Each structure stands twice: as structure tokens, then as C-alpha cells.
Amino acid sequence: MGSRQGDTLLFDTPPVIAAQAAVGGKKEGEGPLAAMFDELCGDNRCGQSSWETAEKYLMLRAARLCLKKADLPQEEVSLVLAGDLQAQCTASGYAMRELGVPFAGVFGACSTMAESLAMGAALCSAGFAPNLLAAASSHFCAAERQFRTPLSYGAVRTPTAQWTATAAGCCLLRPAGEGVRIPAAAFGRVQDLGVRDINNMGAAMAPAAAATLTCFLQDTRTQPQDYDCIYTGDLGQVGSQLFRELLAAEGLVVKNHLDCGCILFDAKQQTVKSGASGPGCCAAVLCGHILPRLLRGSQKRVLFLATGALMSQTTFLQKESIPAVAHLVELRAPEQEGSQ
Amino acid sequence: MKMTAQEYARRIRKAGPPSPLGVDCLWAFCVGGGICLLGEVLRGRYLAMGAEPELAGTLVSCSLIALSAVLTTLGVYQKLAAHAGAGSLVPITGFANAVVSAAIEFKSEGYVPGTGAKMFLIAGPVIVYGTLSAVLYGGILWLVQWIGLV
């Protein structure tokens, strides 16, 4: 099983990520991380009739590719924890209609992947799930029409705005075995420092990331430099800057921080302003970039810290500030003979 | 967190890169001015073709609306607007773009509950408050005339 230290869950026998897959859209295929995707769609419709079904397709492809890589028939999946940005998490629900396996929907906005992984690790560790899938997706076009304006409406994006990734990522978790290990996880507390600007999500989410990280480091009595890298989900350029400033105010100097939203696209070339966002952003970067690095051994121990803004279009229009949450998962390279 | 909301708000203002005001204004001026110039050229043509001044004005509006609708459908207008900002938003072409983009976007939900119901999602408030303003100013004008000031 495991134990609890503060807000942090510590797993005695760390569950492992046995396989993973990342699927992306057109813009992701034109970015610096194009080669990391298992599959890329040439156009964002992915041959589907609507943007919503295209996102469902991305989620389903990620799950199927993940199972294929693990050589696991879908009948043996004990549970899927998945979520997305669409209202009522329809991309996940409709994708799981095709798979026909036990499914529990998860909503943590852009923090969904870390939330699914942390919950999945706990369930695996408790012996409830021998083969568990954790997945998250987002689609630029589906998100734009739901949260902002129609796609062909002419508007200027502010410099702090972020670009929702058209991507999905899926991980297969097992209680033990080969793969990247999850020795610890932490569910964050909702933070709100009064940000109301819907075009500055990084600023709204940075306090949540800083709070969860600070809490985790205290719980585990570790320092930022004990990790090869601290990956945040989608703070973007502006949010990352604020994240580091918030940590500095707590007396923490973090030099090994990298944001998935800053590396998925080339901000200048691809005109994405502050960077990428969306649950699919960090899910795909985790599956295509972070996990392969740990598997290769070029990194040994990292933190994956995904943030989510918990507002809706209604609360935004009612001029409420934007609360945010961040969930954290510690990832360690596979155990090798002679090493710890 | 040790940082207060006030201090954080100050940091946000510093961290967020400001909009390039000069470049944005230049874009808006050139594109907005260009659309108006196009309107003037069209008006000259319609007058030369023998249209009355009032009819020529109406024809110019219709032409610009049609042009904006076509450019929105082809995916060109929004690319221009991404730079032009108010330059492409304020002229009548911006209004046409707001209606056509919503009509295209919500077609996937059907012609009645989608396109029909959501066509004026963005443009609706302009019509509502435009009409309301017209009533208000009409009332003021009537009052001023009734008193005998004009």
C-alpha cells in the first residue's frame, strides 16, 4: 500500500507506467516536438464530422496505441481514468463508448493528466487495478468555440493568451513491473490570487503550481535540485515567470523548471503568444517527451506538476476570479540492476 | 502563499508583455482606412453608373458585407483581423464577419438550433444596443424639437 505525509501520498511499492502514447494535430506536427508523437493528424478534423468528434478520435487513438504498445487486449483493462475540456467531458465519454471498458471521468481542466495519474497510481497501489489507463485530451477548435469565439471570427490575441493544444496522451499504469515508477503523488489545494483575465491563464494557475510544489517539497523533505527537472503543465511564458517569482517569495530558487506549454510550440514561429495550453498539452508532452527521457535514462527523477483553471464561461461572465489547482506526480527512471 | 493578491497583481502587470500599441495602431489605421477607401472607390463607381447618392451608399454597404462574408468563408478575413484588430472590427465588414463566422461555426448543431439560433451570438448585442441607442437619441431629438430648441 503506502502512507501519507502531509498532502503527499507515498507508495511503498511504486506503481509503474508500462506504456504510453501521444497523438497530436496539425500545428503540433509543425512544432519542435513533432517527432515525439506516436501519430499526427494532418488536419484538425482527423476525418471526422465535427471538432468534438475529432477530439474523441484523438483520445481513442491514444488509448488504442498505448494498448498496442503494451500488447494488451482492451478486455484486460481494469479501469480508464480520463478527462478533457469539453462540457461534461464528452470527448472521453464518447471515446470510452468505443472501448467498452470500466471508465471514470475526471475533470481537472488542464491538470487532468496529473490528476488521472495520481488517482490511478493510488488505485494500482491499493491493488484495485492491474491494468489502468490514465488519459487526457484537448482540441483547439472545440475549446475555442466553447470558451471563446467562433474560429473564423476576426480577433487579436493578447500577448498573454495561450493556444489550446490539439493532442491527447494516454498512459498504462500497473501496480508493479517494468517502466517509469511513480513513488509519490500529491493532490493540490485550490488557489486563487484574484486573477480575472481569461486571456492570462498562466497567471491564474501559477499560484496553484507554486503552492503544490512548496507543499510537496516540505512533505518529502526534498529540495528542487534533488530533481533533474520540474515540469509544469501549461503555465506558458508569462505563467512560468510568475511561478518562479512566487517560489522565490517562498525562499525557493528553481533553476531546473521547464513548462510543457513552452516547449510544445515555437512561440514566435507558430504565433502562439505565451505558449500552449489544454489538458492534451502536458499529457502529450509527458507521453512523448518526458517518459521517453526517463526510459532512456537521460533523466532519473523528475516532477510532473499540471495546473488547471477551474472557472467556466458562466463564472467568468459573472466576473468571478479564476481559481486553479495543481496536482503533482513524482516520476523515476526504471529500476536498474545495481541502482536504487 | 506568502505573496499577497495586491503584490501578485503588480507582478502580473510586469510579467505580461504589453501589446505593441504602435504597431497595432498602424495596422488598424491602414486596414481600417483601406476598407473605407475601398468603400469610397465603390461609391464613385456606383455614382458613375448612374445610381442616386443614397442608393450608391446602400450598394457600397451591401458590397462590403458580401465581400466580408466571402472572405470569412474562405478563411482570409480572420487572418487579416488577427493583425488589424479594430481596423477590421469597426467597419461594417467586421459586423458581417461576426455574423458569418458564428453561422459557419454552429452549423454542426443544425440549421435551426445551430446556425439560426447562434448566428447573432456576437452581433446580437450590437443590434440590441444599437436599436436602444437609436430610440434614446430619437427621444432626445423629439424632446429638443418639442421645446423648440432646434
Burial class, A16, CB count within 10 angstroms (exposed 0-12 / middle 13-18 / buried 19+): buried
Instruction: Please give the Cα distance from A55 to A84 (Å, whole number).
Output: 9
Task: Let me know the angle formed at the C-alpha of B138 by B132 and B143, rounded to the nearest 5 degrees.
Answer: 130
- What is the per-residue pLDDT for A338? 47
- Tell if the CB–CB gap between A210 and B106 is shorter than 8 Å: no
- Tell if the CB–CB gap between A152 and B121 is shorter than 8 Å: no
Mutation choice for B interface testing from A86, A90, A156 by most B CBs within 10 A: A156
* Higher pLDDT, residue A154 or A337: A154
Task: Let me know the angle formed at the C-alpha of A214 by A211 and A220, rounded to the nearest 5 degrees.
Answer: 135
A150 CB neighbours in chain B (<8 A) are 101-102, 104-106, 121-122
- What is the per-residue pLDDT for A340? 45
- Tell if the CB–CB gap between B100 and A152 is shorter than 8 Å: yes
Do A290 and A333 contact (CB within 8 A), yes or no? no
Instruction: Please give the Cα distance from A9 to A18 (Å, whole number).
Output: 20
A207 CB neighbours in chain B (<8 A) are 1, 3, 8
Residues with Cβ < 8 Å from A301, sequence gap 6 or more?
A: A226, A227, A228, A330, A331, A332, A333
Nearest to A185 by CA among A229, A279, A107, A122: A122
The Cα of B36 is separated from the nearest Cα of chain A by a number of Å equal to: 18
- Tell if the CB–CB gap between A150 and B106 is shorter than 8 Å: yes
Instruction: Locate the DSSP E strands across chain A.
Output: 2-5, 8-11, 16-24, 39-40, 79-83, 103-105, 132-138, 163-164, 167-174, 180-186, 229-232, 257-259, 276-277, 301-309, 324-332
For chain A, positions 281-340, list CB contacts with chain B under 8 A.
Answer: none
Instruction: Please give the Cα distance from A242 to A195 (Å, whole number).
Output: 12
Which 8-state DSSP code applies to residue A191? B
- Tell if the CB–CB gap between A159 and B16 is shorter than 8 Å: yes
The three cell numbers of residue A331 are 516520476
Do A291 and A20 contact (CB within 8 A), yes or no? yes
Instruction: Please give the Cα distance from A146 to A87 (Å, whole number).
Output: 8
**C-alpha B120 chain-centroid distance:** 13
Check CB contact of A194 with chain B, cutoff 8 Å. yes
The Cα of A270 is separated from the nearest Cα of chain B by a number of Å equal to: 13
Residue whose cell numbers read 458585407: B65
The Cα of B144 is separated from the nearest Cα of chain A by a number of Å equal to: 38
B121 CB neighbours in chain A (<8 A) are 150
The Cα of A298 is separated from the nearest Cα of chain B by a number of Å equal to: 32
Burial class, A54, CB count within 10 angstroms (exposed 0-12 / middle 13-18 / buried 19+): buried
With an 8 Å Cβ cutoff, the interface of chain B facing chain A consists of: 1-3, 5, 8-9, 11-12, 15-19, 24, 72-73, 75, 77-78, 80-85, 88-89, 94, 97-98, 100-102, 104-106, 108, 121-122
Q: Which residues of A67-87 are buried (b: 16+ CB within 10 A; e: fewer)?
A: beebebebeebbbbbbbbbbe
Q: CA nearest A245 in B: which residue?
A: B11
Do B84 and A161 contact (CB within 8 A), yes or no? no
- Tell if the CB–CB gap between A207 and B15 is shorter than 8 Å: no
Nearest to B123 by CA among B102, B139, B149: B102
Least confident span in A70-79, A259-268, A329-338, B35-44: A329-338
**Minimum-distance CB partner of B88 among A52, A154, A210:** A154
Largest CA distance in chain A: 60
pLDDT tens, residue by residue, A167-202: 999 999 999 999 999 999 999 999 999 999 999 999
- Tell if the CB–CB gap between A200 and B89 is shorter than 8 Å: no
- Tell if the CB–CB gap between B5 and A194 is shorter than 8 Å: yes
Do A181 and A335 contact (CB within 8 A), yes or no? yes
Residues with Cβ < 8 Å from A235, sequence gap 6 or more?
A: A202, A205, A206, A209, A242, A243, A259, A261, A262, A275, A307
Check CB contact of A191 with chain B, cutoff 8 Å. yes
Least confident span in A115-119, A138-142, A270-274: A270-274
Check CB contact of A153 with chain B, cutoff 8 Å. yes
Do A9 and A124 contact (CB within 8 A), yes or no? no
Q: In which band, very low, low, confident or very high, does the pLDDT at A337 lie, cut at 50, 70 and 90?
A: low
Q: Which residues of A235-262 are buried (b: 16+ CB within 10 A; e: fewer)?
A: bbbbbbbbbbbbbebeeeebeebebbbb
Strand A79-83 relative to strand A103-105, pairing: parallel
**Minimum-distance CB partner of A193 among B5, B102, B122:** B5
pLDDT tens, residue by residue, A289-300: 999 999 999 999
The interface predicted TM-score of the complex, written ipTM, equals 0.90
**Minimum-distance CB partner of A153 among B12, B15, B98:** B98
Per-residue pLDDT averaged across A73-96, rounded? 97
Instruction: Please give the Cα distance from A55 to A274 (Å, whole number).
Output: 23
pLDDT tens, residue by residue, A204-249: 999 999 999 999 999 999 999 999 999 999 999 999 999 999 999 9
User: Is A44 a residue whose pLDDT tops 70?
Assistant: yes
User: Is B94 a residue whose pLDDT tops 50?
Assistant: yes
A242 CB neighbours in chain B (<8 A) are 8, 11-12, 15
Q: In which band, very low, low, confident or very high, does the pLDDT at B19 lie, cut at 50, 70 and 90?
A: confident
Per-residue pLDDT averaged across A281-308, rounded? 98
User: What is the 3-state secondary structure of B35-95?
Assistant: HHHHHHHHHHHHHHCCCCHHHHHHHHHHHHHHHHHHHHHCCCHHHHHHHHCHHHHCCHHHH
Instruction: Please give the Cα distance from A228 to B11 (Å, whole number).
Output: 28
- Tell if the CB–CB gap between B1 and A155 is shorter than 8 Å: no
Do A28 and A284 contact (CB within 8 A), yes or no? yes
Instruction: Please give the Cα distance from B150 to A285 (Å, whole number).
Output: 69
Beta bridge partners of A181: A16, A332
